């Protein structure tokens, strides 16, 4: 399942992150990928251990914790702390699949990357190019979202970032392990949860909506890996 999650950050929150990022020092993005990824990755990143990166990453995770649509879709169990990248002057990231397992920096804790996230920190008019292209069983999708919006997609998907030919594309990106490993089951739970919320909004907590909520939680109990 691929999902556009709007309004993760407010305009004021985006400005605050951008101000901090403009004053930060960037390094070669190839420092955080393996040998295969390094052949096609051409961008810059904040060092993952830098105090600025860690502080801003905590802000992003705090915003996600307040976003019910994100939680419903991702069912997050644990995160790799958010990183920050920058593309300009033709920089790009060729077709690749994210690594299946990542280590949380400084902890030795490893997690399975079920879902990949890109949080846009620039508006589409600020730069040309830079679309993220995701290839899945339903075709090829190109995404370029407003600042503060996030795209969520399975980490098993082939994807790339097209060259940025004008301006700068600045984003936060990260991975998470979901409570529900299987993408199809996670998608079914998301659709069921969204349908329940709409029915509750229209009908209130009726006998039927309570029963459906019970089915949702029993399925989550059956499929979750905790």
pLDDT in tens, 61-109: 999 999 999 999 999 999 999 999 999 999 999 999 999 999 998 898 9
Question: How high is the pLDDT of residue 145?
Answer: 98
Query: Strand, coil or helix: what is 83?
Result: strand
Q: How confident is the model at residue 190 (pLDDT cuts 50, 70, 90)?
A: very high
Question: How high is the pLDDT of residue 80?
Answer: 96
Question: How high is the pLDDT of residue 173?
Answer: 98
What stretch of H or E contains 79?
strand 76-79
Which letter, b or e, does each residue of 66-82 get, where b requires 16 or more Cβ atoms within 10 Å of its Cβ? Answer: ebebbebbbbbbebbbb
Query: Strand, coil or helix: what is 116?
Result: strand
Cα separation of 94 and 39, whole Å? Answer: 8
Mean pLDDT on 40-46: 94
Query: Strand, coil or helix: what is 185?
Result: helix
Residue of higher predicted confidence among 75 and 49: 75
Are 185 and 156 a contacting pair, CB within 8 Å?
Answer: no
Say whether pLDDT at 34 is over 80: no
Cα separation of 161 and 179, whole Å? Answer: 28
Mean pLDDT on 154-182: 98
Question: How high is the pLDDT of residue 39?
Answer: 80
Cα separation of 100 and 2, whole Å? Answer: 18
Question: How high is the pLDDT of residue 122?
Answer: 97
Question: How high is the pLDDT of residue 31?
Answer: 72
Q: Which domains does the chain have, with CATH numbers?
A: 3-178 (2.60.120.620), 183-223 (4.10.860)
Say whether pLDDT at 37 is over 80: no
CB atoms within 10 A of CB 34: 11
Our CA angle for 191, 195, 201, nearest 5°, is 150
Q: How confident is the model at residue 35 (pLDDT cuts 50, 70, 90)?
A: low
Q: Where are the beta strands (DSSP E) in 100-201?
A: 101-103, 110-112, 115-120, 127-129, 132-136, 139-143, 150-154, 158-161, 164-178
Q: Count the helix, strand and coil residues of the chain and give each as a percent rounded to the nearest 5.
A: 35, 30, 30
Question: How high is the pLDDT of residue 29?
Answer: 85
Q: How many residues does the chain have?
A: 226
Q: How confident is the model at residue 16 (pLDDT cuts 50, 70, 90)?
A: very high
Q: How confident is the model at residue 146 (pLDDT cuts 50, 70, 90)?
A: very high
Question: How high is the pLDDT of residue 136?
Answer: 86
Question: How high is the pLDDT of residue 73?
Answer: 98
Mean pLDDT on 190-205: 97
Question: How high is the pLDDT of residue 30?
Answer: 79
């Amino acid at each position: 399942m691929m999902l556009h999650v709007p309004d993760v950050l407010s305009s004021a929150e985006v400005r605050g992150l951008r101000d901090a990022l403009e004053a930060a020092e960037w390094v070669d993005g190839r420092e955080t990928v393996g040998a295969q990824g390094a052949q096609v990755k051409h961008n810059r990143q904040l060092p993952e251990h830098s105090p600025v990166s860690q502080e801003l990453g905590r802000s992003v995770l705090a915003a996600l914790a307040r976003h019910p649509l994100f939680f419903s879709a991702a069912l997050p169990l644990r995160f790799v702390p958010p990183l920050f990248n920058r593309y300009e002057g033709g920089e790009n990231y060729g077709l690749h699949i994210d690594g299946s397992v990542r280590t949380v920096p400084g902890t030795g804790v490893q997690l399975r990357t079920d879902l990949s996230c890109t949080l846009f920190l620039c508006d589409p008019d600020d730069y040309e190019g830079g679309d993220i292209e995701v290839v899945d069983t339903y075709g090829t999708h190109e995404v370029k979202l407003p600042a503060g919006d996030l795209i969520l997609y399975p980490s098993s998907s082939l994807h790339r970032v097209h060259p940025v030919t004008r301006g700068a594309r600045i984003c936060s990106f990260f991975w998470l392990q979901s409570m529900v490993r299987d993408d199809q089951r996670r998608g079914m739970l998301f659709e069921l949860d969204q349908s329940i919320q709409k029915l509750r909004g229209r009908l209130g907590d009726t006998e039927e909506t309570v029963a459906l909520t019970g089915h949702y939680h029993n399925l989550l109990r059956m499929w979750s890996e905790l």
